[in-house]
């Protein structure tokens, strides 16, 4: 009996030790990145590659729309639609770090304003105005960018057919796609270290000559603010508005029915930033935090994974899901809000305390 008890206790102890994975130990990691490494890898592993991909996909969209205009076929329309979906993915990733040139030079509203001014768009199409990349640049934001092009490519409720595309619409689509490609190219170049003035240098040299960031702490906190900001916008606005009003006209990507994918990609973008992971793994905020507080790093990682996974099973057509999958939407919103809260409270506090001024 005594031996049995001892064996049982030993077994329990072994189970307890085995159950203590490194995830639950609040102890430092070795080979922790310093602040410079985190800034460098955010710029080189996430920001630049995401904008490179955005530019490449935007150019592919322009090529597809040009082909459609040259030979309007149903297959061509489908290709252009696929190219539109493709460029949205890196754009949604990039929304997890909406700071720097994208906001300083007003690319965000010019690319992604919503809703589309359909009445004025119809008037512009009915006019004799010549369309080109430059003339579109001067138009109001509600007449250009991704969603104006989405409206023309997909039509209301995605019902557009190639027969429904007039020559004027095709001209306008090409000019819109050209303008999108131009702006995405500007964004990519603004970060590109190959140019004499580039935002990558401003970011990496935070506290060491940067005219934008007075300290590395500021530059690291900017990431937290940006990640939390998109979480708030997605859960509290883009998902909440149509759900609360039970109104599918409030869905952002309502013509292409791709809002669910947009939201999920926003959350993947947030995870990419936190982990400095896009195409390859870099030294991220998670590694920096893990060196001193592994528990916190892992809780953030876990919440971000959960926020991405929360979209599993959700109808891609968000405007329909608000009527049929409300509990799933609420679950996803809660998961995103949990990310926002831990970023704003614990991660921001950690960085304020731990990063030298």
Partner 1 sequence: MSTIRFLVILLVCALTCASCREPATFPEEQYDARMSGGVNSVPDVSSKAFSHAFPLLRSNEAQLHNLGDVHFEQTFVTAPAPVNAGLGPRFNNVSCISCHRNDGSGFPTTGEPESALLFRISSDGTDPYGGPRPVRSYGGQLQDKAIAGWTPEAGISIAYESRTVELAGGERCELRIPRYTLHSLHAPIGVPHRLSPRLAPPVFGLGLLEAVSEHTILSYADESDADGDGISGRPNRVWDAPSGSMRIGRFGWKANTATLLAQVAGAYAQDMGITNSIFPEADLSESGATSGTAASPELGDDILRAVTFYVRTLAVPQRRLVTDPVTLRGERIFWEAKCGSCHVPTLVTGDHMDLPSVSGQRIHAYTDLLLHDMGPELADDRPDFEASGREWRTAPLWGIGLFRTVSYPGYYLHDGRARTILEAILFHGGEAEKSRQVVERLGPADRAALLRFLSSL
Contacting partner 1 (CB under 8 A), which of 117, 179, 266, 340? Answer: 117
- CA-wise closest residue to 263 among 155, 337, 341: 337
Contacting partner 1 (CB under 8 A), which of 52, 63, 99, 337? Answer: 99
**Residue 218 binds partner 1, judged by CB under 8 A:** yes
d(CA 85, CA 256): 8
| Candidate segments 27-35, 176-184, 188-196, 221-229, binder of partner 1 by CB under 8 A | 221-229
Closer residue to partner 1 (CB): 284 or 319 = 319
What's the min distance (Å) between Cβ of 121 and partner 1? 8
**Residue 135 binds partner 1, judged by CB under 8 A:** no
d(CA 205, CA 279): 24
The residues, any chain, with a CB within 8 Å of residue 329's CB and separated by 6 or more, are 239, 243, 314, 321, 322
Neighbours of 285 (CB within 10 A): 25
Q: Which x/- pattern, by CB under 8 A, does the window 243-272 give for partner 1?
A: ------xx----------------------
- CB of 294 closer than 8 Å to CB of 27: yes
d(CA 143, CA 352): 42
Cα separations in angstroms, 334 against 196, 337, 346: 44, 5, 17
CA angle 271, 210, 272 (to 5 degrees): 5
- Residue 196, classified by CB atoms within 10 Å of its CB into exposed (0-12), middle (13-18) or buried (19+), is exposed
**Residue 119 binds partner 1, judged by CB under 8 A:** yes
Contacting partner 1 (CB under 8 A), which of 64, 110, 111, 153? Answer: 110
Contacting partner 1 (CB under 8 A), which of 49, 229, 269, 319? Answer: 229
- CB of 35 closer than 8 Å to CB of 283: no
**Residue 141 binds partner 1, judged by CB under 8 A:** yes
**Residue 158 binds partner 1, judged by CB under 8 A:** no
- CA-wise closest residue to 333 among 227, 266, 239: 239
What's the min distance (Å) between Cβ of 116 and partner 1? 7
Token pair of 265 as six digits: 């990609």
Contacting partner 1 (CB under 8 A), which of 186, 241, 341, 346? Answer: 241
| Candidate segments 30-38, 100-108, 259-267, 283-291, binder of partner 1 by CB under 8 A | 100-108
Contacting partner 1 (CB under 8 A), which of 67, 133, 185, 225? Answer: 225
Residues of the shown chain interacting with partner 1 in the complex, contacts defined by CB under 8 A: 99, 103-104, 106, 109-110, 113-120, 123-124, 127, 138-142, 212, 214, 218, 221-222, 225-226, 229, 236-237, 241, 249-250, 352
């Amino acid at each position: 009996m005594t031996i049995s008890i001892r064996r049982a206790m030993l077994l329990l102890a072994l189970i307890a030790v085995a159950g203590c994975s490194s995830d639950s130990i609040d102890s430092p990691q070795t080979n922790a990145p310093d602040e410079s490494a985190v800034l460098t890898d955010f710029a080189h592993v996430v920001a630049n590659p995401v904008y490179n991909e955005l530019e490449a996909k935007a150019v592919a969209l322009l090529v597809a729309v040009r082909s459609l205009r040259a030979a309007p076929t149903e297959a061509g329309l489908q290709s252009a639609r696929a190219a539109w979906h493709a460029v949205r993915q890196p754009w949604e990733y990039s929304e997890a770090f909406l700071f720097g040139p994208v906001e300083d030079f007003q690319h965000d509203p010019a690319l992604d304003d919503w809703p589309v001014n359909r009445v004025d768009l119809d008037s512009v199409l009915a006019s004799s105005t010549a369309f080109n990349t430059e003339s579109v640049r001067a138009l109001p934001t509600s007449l250009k960018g991704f969603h104006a092009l989405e409206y023309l490519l997909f039509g209301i409720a995605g019902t557009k057919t190639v027969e429904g595309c007039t020559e004027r619409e095709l001209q306008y689509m090409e000019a819109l796609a050209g303008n999108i490609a131009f702006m995405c190219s500007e964004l990519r170049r603004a970060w590109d270290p190959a140019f004499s003035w580039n935002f990558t240098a401003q970011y990496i040299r935070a506290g060491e000559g940067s005219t934008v960031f007075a300290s590395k702490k500021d530059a690291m906190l900017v990431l937290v603010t940006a990640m939390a900001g998109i979480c708030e916008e997605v859960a509290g606005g883009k998902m909440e508005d149509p759900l609360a009003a039970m109104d599918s006209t409030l869905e952002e990507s309502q013509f292409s029915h791709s809002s669910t994918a947009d939201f999920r990609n926003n959350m993947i973008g947030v995870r990419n930033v936190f982990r400095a992971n896009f195409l390859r793994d870099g030294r991220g905020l998670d590694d920096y935090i893990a060196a001193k507080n592994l528990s916190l790093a892992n809780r953030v990682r876990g919440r971000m994974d959960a926020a991405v996974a929360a979209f599993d099973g959700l109808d891609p057509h968000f405007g329909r899901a608000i009527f049929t999958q409300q509990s799933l939407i609420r679950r996803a919103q809660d998961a995103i809000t949990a990310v926002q809260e831990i970023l704003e409270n614990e991660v921001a506090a950690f960085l304020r305390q731990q990063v030298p001024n």
